[in-house]
Amino acid sequence: MTQAIGTATDTIAAIHAGTSTVEAWHTSCFDRITKREPEVRAWASLRQEGALCEARALDRANPSTKPLAGMPLGVKDVILTRDLPTEYNSPIYQGFVPNMDAACVALLRAAGAIPIGKTETVEFAAAVRLAPTHNPLNLAHTPGGSSSGSAAAVADGHVPVALGTQTGGSVIRPASFCGICAIKPTWSRISREGIKMYAPSLDTLGWFARSVDDLSLVYDSLVPDPALPLDAPEPGQLRIAICHTPFPDCADLATRRGLARVGALLEACGVSVSTLDLPPEFDGIDDSARVVMRAEGRAAFLPEYRTDYADLNDHFRALVENVEGIGDDDLRRAYDHAAQCRARFDMIASDYDAVLTYSVPGEAPRGLSNNGSAAFNSLWTLLHVPCVTVPVMQGTSGLPVGLTVTGPRFADRAVMAVARVVHAAVAAEEREAIVAL
């Protein structure tokens, strides 16, 4: 395994110990990109020269003062970066280079990360113009969206970490399709300043990595609380609830069986595993998420509608024009339904160390024209709860399928700690066996 596809945690330890360099890290990433990018197409733009220059400067200074030690970072192209274009995969913003960083980029730079490029995204992280990115595990399949390039770049070893955003399922879904880890933290925990808004009640920064420890490392640089190693709970003391959501039939048979098999493996490790059925008040939670997204999206895309109508495609025009006819009462009901379910889910979930559920209905669809379904993501995004996906099984055609660990709002660290246990409980050989058993 080359350095480029190891974990950030390991490489940073080596750089801090003086046994590797930031420049070597970047060089290995760009080597990988050079080799793979023509097929994978994860990147909207790159700054190889600038990144290598910063890497060498950090090596000359002292990378051990920086927790992220020059870590090469991919940034979804809906997040402002002052040294790279921010184009949203929209013709309206071609060539636009903002002169400011989004809050998340500023924070990761401060911690020593070096943005090396912008990753391909679905138009405005919303719809219609999909990313040109292929699933690196099978180029004939989608990597999922809307954070398509970030997921593919991390999965393919171009970068150890990349930023994404989730309004429906735009982080958890592509991570699952690409066989990597990702987190969508609790809503409001991390500043979204400088991230293109779509639905402010839903929009959440997230990121991709190849281990839960790497997710945690980045988390520590984005929140005000002190950096802490994740807890390492004893499996024998863990209580995990399996939740099939209100729409279990959306999952294909292999995935449903896989979830059951992972539950059995966890039990074999000593974890107490039970089943959590969401009460009837959660019925229609997917519809509430849809209403909030569409109604808030009206406001989000109104400026482009008014100033660049010709370059705004029909989907966004229809959104602004509210062709669905979503009324104020619909939005009010959706807000209040979401709020009621948030409080209720926190209460229900507090009986467990974490909740295990689907990340996706199954493997990445074939072709690039279908990003897959967000059925198993939108409800958690609406509930504002932290979600971590870990790759723990394979589908019938050999592509990975992740499972989501979630919990009450603000239980981000606890959820990551349990996700690490789940990830470890299913050893790599086992993952390949968990398929349509």
Footprint of its own copies on this chain (CB under 8 A)?
Answer: 96-100, 103, 106-107, 109-111, 188-193, 196-197, 200-201, 222-224, 295-296, 298-300, 302-303, 305-307, 320-322, 328, 331-332, 335-336, 339-340, 342-343, 346, 408-410
Whole-angstrom Cα distance, residue 423 to residue 437?
A: 19
Rank residues 20 and 221 by Cβ distance to its own copies and give the closer one.
221
Rank residues 242 and 411 by Cβ distance to its own copies and give the closer one.
411
Vertex 331, ends 327 and 332: CA angle to 5°? 115
Tokens of 134: 């292929």
Q: Following DSSP, what letter does each residue of 169-198 receive, concatenated?
A: STTHHHHHHHT-EEEE--TTSS--TTBPPS
Task: Tell me which residue has tokens 């929009």.
Answer: 203
Told to judge if 274 belongs to the known catalytic residues of this protein, a careful annotator would answer no
Rank residues 33 and 107 by Cβ distance to its own copies and give the closer one.
107
Least distance between its own copies and beta carbon 303 (Å): 4
Least distance between its own copies and beta carbon 119 (Å): 21
Rank residues 239 and 306 by Cβ distance to its own copies and give the closer one.
306
Vertex 388, ends 340 and 14: CA angle to 5°? 145
Rank residues 257 and 317 by Cβ distance to its own copies and give the closer one.
317
Told to judge if 170 belongs to the known catalytic residues of this protein, a careful annotator would answer yes
Whole-angstrom Cα distance, residue 154 to residue 137?
A: 12
Least distance between its own copies and beta carbon 169 (Å): 21
Ramachandran sector of residue 93 (left: φ over 0; alpha: ψ -120 to 50; beta: rest) = alpha
User: 186: closest CA among 380, 391, 420, 432?
Assistant: 380
Contact between 153 and 159 (Cβ < 8 Å): yes
Contact between 22 and 63 (Cβ < 8 Å): yes
Least distance between its own copies and beta carbon 272 (Å): 24
Least distance between its own copies and beta carbon 430 (Å): 35
1 Cβ contact list (under 8 Å, min separation 6): none
Active-site residue among 28, 147, 148, 170?
170
Least distance between its own copies and beta carbon 321 (Å): 7
Whole-angstrom Cα distance, residue 231 to residue 226?
A: 14
Active-site residue among 28, 90, 146, 359?
146
Helix axes 48-60, 22-40, angle to 10 degrees: 160
Helix axes 212-222, 8-16, angle to 10 degrees: 70
Q: Report in angstroms the alpha-carbon separations of 303 from 262, 306, 378.
A: 47, 5, 25
* Residue 273 host element (H or E): strand 272-276
Told to judge if 20 belongs to the known catalytic residues of this protein, a careful annotator would answer no
Rank residues 234 and 324 by Cβ distance to its own copies and give the closer one.
324
Least distance between its own copies and beta carbon 354 (Å): 16
Rank residues 260 and 339 by Cβ distance to its own copies and give the closer one.
339
User: 23: closest CA among 91, 86, 70?
Assistant: 70
Rank residues 106 and 269 by Cβ distance to its own copies and give the closer one.
106
Contact between 208 and 161 (Cβ < 8 Å): yes
* Residue 265 host element (H or E): helix 253-268
Whole-angstrom Cα distance, residue 409 to residue 348?
A: 12
Least distance between its own copies and beta carbon 414 (Å): 11
Active-site residue among 20, 28, 76, 118?
76
Least distance between its own copies and beta carbon 314 (Å): 16
Please return the burial class of 325, using the count of CB atoms within 10 Å of its CB with bins 0-12, 13-18 and 19+.
Answer: exposed
Rank residues 259 and 417 by Cβ distance to its own copies and give the closer one.
417
- Return the active site residues: 76, 146, 170
